[in-house]
Structure 1
Amino acid sequence: MEWLKTFSTDYANAVTAAIALIALVITAVTLYYLRREYRAKYRPYVVPVVNVEPLDRGEGEIVYVVSVRPFNVGPHPCFVMMTAVQLQIGDEVYETPSHKGWSLIGQSGAAYTFPVGHINQNGISAVREGRYRLNRIEVRFRLHSKSVDDTHKQDQQFIFEVLAQNPPLAVIRPEWVSDTRP
């Protein structure tokens, strides 16, 4: 009968160890999915909006001021930064100094507007008359965003075309991002 007692003890220990191992695996899988859900919930959801607003300089001269305003459409605040900001009018490219610091924006809107440049009537008329090789107005920039706790970072390239109509309108052109510019 001693063998039955030994078998019973060893069997009970083996079953306990197997159940503990299964519980450990289930806990690890649950923690993995909880972490993934947490990161998805707190990651930044930032959408840029390009504003083209008229500014009257006097004597009938209208200049259009171009700026980018990132909107945080997510439920939590995040940090944003813009680099490689360019305004291209026809074949002429104008670089805007990049803002190297992070700006905190809250949910449901932005707390900061990044200036890009301005477009005067000469540039608009030159594009309309076809004086350039590439007759369009573009706004290009890289938008970096990160969550407040630095667990999720995102870097995106955007290109908008400014349509020279009255009033001017900025339209996103994601198909141009992969194009090589002349």
Structure 2
Amino acid sequence: MRSFTFLILSGLAAVASAHFQLQFPEPRGVFNMDNEPTFCDGYDTVASNRTSFPIGSNGLISLNSEHPQWTATVLITNVSNPTSFDNFTQITPFFQESIEGLFCMHFDLSSTNVTSAGGIPLQNGDNVTMQILYNGGDGNLYQCADLTLSDSATTSSISCTNTTSSAFGLSAPSTGSLLGLAGLALALL
């Protein structure tokens, strides 16, 4: 009986400690499992070294999931130093995957309705911050990447495995707050 109880408790502990790591674009800082449930994994200031990211159809997002089934969404802001969730706009619908390990999705930022601070579509040279909201069933987790958009940026050297069948770059939802959408992520699991 003790070994059965130990197995159950060990399994629960493993599920509760599973996380994800953003692989590309490069996250703001080194992965910090303890801070992952907080804004930008606990990194509150913009990285001094922004990642050059394709503005068109050559973009991709790669992450490592430690859950066999999970839900995520992509948020973005053009605020120069975002400090809260309120600075971000959701630009993909929540999507659910059943892939543990490396995952990649094609991402066309030019097809979103995100605009620069002047209200014009995003363009070469704009700085933005991307935040991934991920939920593997044990709570919302967040990681951020600071980007400089570039017409000449390439992702050809990035290994893209377990690719989703659809490319993202969709318009942001017209209703719902980030807190409401985060609750929806939990409901989807």
Which TM-score tier does this pair reach, normalised by the shorter chain? 0.3 to 0.5
TM-score normalised per structure 2: 0.40
Whichever structure has more helix as a proportion of its residues is: 1
Structure (1 or 2) with the larger CA radius of gyration: 1
